[in-house]
Amino acid sequence: MTWTSPWTAYEALKLLGEGGFGEVYLARHYATDHIVALKALRLATIVNCNCHFTGIYSPSPIERKML
C-alpha cells in the first residue's frame, strides 16, 4: 500500500494563521479549482501531546460560522 500526501492535490496560496498545533493556509484544489482553508498540524506537537484524537474532525464554533 502506498500513501500519497493530501497536499499534492492543493496549491498553498497564503498563510492565514498559526496556532499551537500548526498553521492554516488558503489553498486551491487543483482538480476542482475550489478555494479552501487547510489546517496543517505539526506532527511533533501531536505526538508529544496527551490529547486523544479520534480521527473525527469537529469544527470549532468559529469555523462553523465560516462554513
Q: What CATH number did the domain enclosing 39 receive? A: 3.30.200.20
39 is annotated as contributing to ligand binding: yes
Domain assignment present for 33: yes
Residue 57 confidence (pLDDT) above 70: no
Residue 23 confidence (pLDDT) above 60: yes
Evaluate whether 40 touches 25 at the Cβ level (below 8 Å): yes
* Burial class, 61, CB count within 10 angstroms (exposed 0-12 / middle 13-18 / buried 19+): exposed
Domain assignment present for 43: yes
Q: Looking at per-residue confidence, does 51 or 23 come out higher? A: 23
Taking only the tens place, the pLDDT of each residue in 32-49 is 999 999 888 877 766 666
Per-residue pLDDT averaged across 60-64, rounded?
Answer: 56
The grid coordinates of residue 11 equal 496549491
Please tell me the pTM assigned to this model.
0.61
